[in-house]
């Protein structure tokens, strides 16, 4: 009568060889995993570095932004620039003081657009809804 295959045993030396090979494969996998973790941490460090650089660049752009713009100041400064010509001097962000009377029509239009957003802002909202970066 023959012995079923599942009950047959292999020689102990063969099992030991296979076990050593499996342990070596495990050790190699652990080393690769540790290397991958190090690579991941380094890559995240570079991403954070570039994001910090981008944050500084945007902060510099915001700082250079003209008075009354969304980046530079709140509503009160914008209204001061657009509605009070006696206050709109070079200190508010440029050569507005000398030319405020001739530019008042344009400022009134800009103020109206800022106070009542219309179709002029629609392209910006379309870009954000399309998943732009």
Q: Where are the domains of the chain?
A: 11-64, 66-119
**What integer pLDDT is reported at residue 19 of this predicted model?**
97
**What integer pLDDT is reported at residue 118 of this predicted model?**
58
**What integer pLDDT is reported at residue 44 of this predicted model?**
97
For the chain, residues with pLDDT lower than 50 are 75, 87-93, 95, 98, 121-133
Assign 11 to helix, strand or coil. coil
**What integer pLDDT is reported at residue 72 of this predicted model?**
80
CA–CA gap between residue 25 and residue 20 (Å, rounded)? 9
Look up residue 9 and give its DSSP letter. -
80-89 residue pLDDT tens? 556 555 544 4
CA angle 126, 57, 111 (to 5 degrees): 50
**What integer pLDDT is reported at residue 82 of this predicted model?**
60
**Contact partners, residue 31, CB within 8 Å, separation at least 6:** none
**What integer pLDDT is reported at residue 54 of this predicted model?**
96
**What integer pLDDT is reported at residue 67 of this predicted model?**
83
**What integer pLDDT is reported at residue 68 of this predicted model?**
81
Cβ contact 118:110 at 8 Å:
no
């Amino acid at each position: 009568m023959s012995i079923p295959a599942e009950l047959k045993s292999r020689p102990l030396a063969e099992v030991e060889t296979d076990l050593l090979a499996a342990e070596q494969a495990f050790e190699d996998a652990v080393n690769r995993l540790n290397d991958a973790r190090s690579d991941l941490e380094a890559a995240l460090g570079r991403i954070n570095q570039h994001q910090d650089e981008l944050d500084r660049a945007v902060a510099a752009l915001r700082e250079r932004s003209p008075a009354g713009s969304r980046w530079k100041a709140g509503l009160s400064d914008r209204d001061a620039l657009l509605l009070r010509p006696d206050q709109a001097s070079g200190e508010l962000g440029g050569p507005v003081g000398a030319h405020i009377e001739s530019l008042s029509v344009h400022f009134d239009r800009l103020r109206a657009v800022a106070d009542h957003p219309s179709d002029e802002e629609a392209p910006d909202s379309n870009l954000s809804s399309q998943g732009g970066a």
